[in-house]
Amino acid sequence: MPTTIRGESRIWRKRTPRQTLITYLGYLLGAIALAVALRFISGQTLWFFVWDAPQQAGDLISRMFPPKWSYLAKLWRPLWDTINIATIGTIIALVVAIPVAFLAARNTTPHPIFRQLALLIMVSSRSVNALIWALLLVSVIGPGVLAGIIAVGLRSIGFCAKLLSEAIEEIDFKPIEALDATGASGGQVVTYGIIPQVAPAFAGITVYRWDINIRESTVVGLVGAGGIGLPLDASIAALQWSQATVIFALILVLVVFSEWVSAKVRAAIR
Amino acid sequence: MRGLAASGSAGSSAANQPLPPSAAALRGQPWRPRPVVANPLLRYAIPVAALAYLVAASASIDVNWQRVALGLERARVLFRGFAAPDFTSRWAFIQTGILESLAMTVVATALGILLSVPFAFGAARNIAPLPVYLFCRAFIAVARSFQEIVIAIFFVVMVGFGPLAGALTLAFATIGFLGKLLAEDIEDIDPRPLEALRATGASWLKQMSYAVVPQIYPRFIGLSVYRLDINFRESSVIGIVGAGGIGGALNTSISRYEYSTTAAILIVVIAIVLLSEYASGVIRKRVQ
């Protein structure tokens, strides 16, 4: 136990001197990085525009309220599209992610080469944000819901495949051995030995990702990929902040709803 | 016995008890797995409803197939761009963008951590009084509900274009993320050390720093590093609405169809993401 001696008594210390030194060195490095970053940002900022931020904020709030609730009537279609982007995107992601997950899991992969290939798919899907996928797809296949669906789907493949493959790696092999011992065929082993073990995890991951995708599909419209982001972009471009407030309220309700659904379903599975 | 496909009731009869009539009727028949959904009405209603939804949803997507066909040519150009990424002709923009992204990430993470700690303590039911708890929970819920890019729109309006808006955006989002997860950790702590310290007459600050903080510290470091990672990823997109970082350059390069520059930017972003993910994985493993 690290202590310091002060006069006659030994006083308890949390860390040894060496640990203290390393800790403070870490803090120092962090502080230097922070100072450099702050200086850089400050150099890139027009402070003239920052000083009137409180006025700008006040102005913005006065434009946002009262919300123009009549605009809600025009939002049902974009809302429906938003839900579709998330749901169909999740389904597409699952269709691709399930085989990828089986290839990536150490215990089910047919060959290490397939495993590396699956890991590559997972990494490239996960490293690129849904909005960047959407930007690329809008430029390639044109604006619309389809670009949003594919963007959300592509982004979700890596996430789902990673969690699914972890679930597959954790399965218990005893039921599979037991099935093998009864002379079950390969298909029967998968149906009765593997699927029952991973199905709850799969369902949980799916709903979790769907919840995230609802959030993401609310913004892909900002770059033209459909959903409720489209009217949001249009309202902001036209400085119709009272309409934007209605959209923000709707997004909040949608996100809270999807989180509630996801929590309920995951609790029911467990 | 567990898997008998009887009408829901014949699950749990022990071997020495007489079988219920519904199970007895199944004797001699091949074994079938128990259905996933117990209620037979729901069992058929769910797939039908799901199918109906899918048909309705797919029907409502209108796709301009001519435009998609046109896009195939563009996709080819895009892939060619990835085969030969062009780092040089726009390097000045790429460099500034990446530096801005990194600076935003560092500042936002530091500021976000600093501000999220009081919110986390305020949002933990076992520590905070009810009014504080409700306020902090509401703030965190709002901060979490909106995507970074939506928050960025607000900060751009308030402080103008540039990385300052981006840093504030990411700091705000960090409060929501860290605040919620840390609050949950604080609620899950072992209450006994807290009681022990309280019994010695320690002040509130001492109770927190010796009973609560040591219990959540490893998770706190892990989550902070994880958030650093997320903040960099997000800093590469909020530039789309003018909040600084590499996103602006990315957006411009795509809208100008300079796909080889796009590819170069994406490669740099992915490389940094992978590097930071690896580093954060190592740090988290060492701390936990």
Has residue B5 been placed in a domain? no
Please give the tally of structural domains in chain A: 2
Contact B68 A141 (CB under 8 A): yes
Domain check: are A161 and A31 in the same one?
no
Distance CA B66, CA A224 (A): 18
Domain check: are B70 and B114 in the same one?
no
Has residue B129 been placed in a domain? yes
More confident residue, A60 or B107: B107
Question: What is the residue type of B286?
Answer: R
Residue of B147, B107, B146, B171 whose CA lies nearest to B237? B147
Domain check: are A55 and A89 in the same one?
no
Contact A60 B163 (CB under 8 A): no
Q: Is B271 on the interface with A (CB under 8 A)?
A: no
Helix, strand, coil percentages for chain A (3-state, nearest 5): 80, 5, 20
**Domain limit, last residue, from B24, B51, B79:** B79
Domain check: are A57 and A178 in the same one?
no
Domain check: are A109 and A216 in the same one?
yes
pLDDT at B18 over 50: yes
H helix or E strand, kind and range, residue A11: strand A9-12
Domain check: are B114 and B159 in the same one?
yes
Domain check: are A263 and A149 in the same one?
yes
Q: What is the pLDDT of residue A259?
A: 87
CATH number, domain of A143, equals 1.10.3720.10
Domain carrying residue A58: 3-64
**Domain limit, last residue, from B25, B48, B79:** B79
Nearest to B78 among A91, A136, A251 (CB): A136
Interface test with B, best of A141, A149, A246, A261 (most B CBs within 10 A): A141
Domain carrying residue B52: 40-79
Q: Is B102 on the interface with A (CB under 8 A)?
A: yes
CATH number, domain of B158, equals 1.10.3720.10
Contact B61 A149 (CB under 8 A): yes
Retrieve residue A12's tokens: 């308890």
Q: Is B100 on the interface with A (CB under 8 A)?
A: yes
pLDDT in tens, chain A (270 residues): 677 777 777 777 777 788 888 888 888 988 888 888 888 887 777 777 777 778 877 888 888 888 888 888 888 889 999 999 999 999 999 999 988 988 888 887 788 888 888 888 888 888 888 888 898 888 888 888 888 999 999 999 989 999 988 888 888 888 888 988 988 888 888 888 888 888 888 888 999 899 999 999 999 988 888 889 889 888 888 888 888 899 998 998 998 899 888 888 888 876
Domain check: are B96 and B192 in the same one?
yes
Contact A40 B100 (CB under 8 A): yes
Domain check: are B227 and B140 in the same one?
yes
**Domain limit, last residue, from B79, B99, B132:** B79
Domain check: are A83 and A59 in the same one?
no
With cut-offs at 50, 70 and 90, classify the pLDDT of residue B20. Answer: low
pLDDT at B13 over 80: no
Segment B62-74 mean pLDDT: 79
Domain check: are A101 and A226 in the same one?
yes
Please give the tally of structural domains in chain B: 2
Domain check: are B222 and B98 in the same one?
yes
pLDDT digits (tens, 9 = 90+) for B133-183: 899 988 888 888 888 888 898 888 888 888 888 899 999 999 999 999 999
Residue B163 · residue B245 · CB < 8 Å: yes
Has residue B167 been placed in a domain? yes
Nearest to A142 among B67, B244, B274 (CB): B67
Q: In sequence order, what E strands does A90-222 have?
A: none
Nearest to A50 among B99, B160, B244 (CB): B160
Chain A residues touching B61 at Cβ < 8 A: 84, 88, 144-146, 149
Domain check: are B110 and B145 in the same one?
yes
Distance CA A154, CA A129 (A): 10
Distance CA B97, CA B92 (A): 9
Domain check: are B63 and B115 in the same one?
no
Chain B residues touching A81 at Cβ < 8 A: 60
Has residue B18 been placed in a domain? no
Domain check: are A17 and A147 in the same one?
no
Q: Is B111 on the interface with A (CB under 8 A)?
A: no
Residue A152 · residue A94 · CB < 8 Å: no
Whole-model pTM: value is 0.80
Domain check: are B49 and B125 in the same one?
no
The helix/strand/coil state of B268 is helix
Q: Is B62 on the interface with A (CB under 8 A)?
A: yes
Domain check: are B67 and B163 in the same one?
no
More confident residue, B47 or B11: B47
Domain check: are A114 and A233 in the same one?
yes
Q: Is B273 on the interface with A (CB under 8 A)?
A: yes
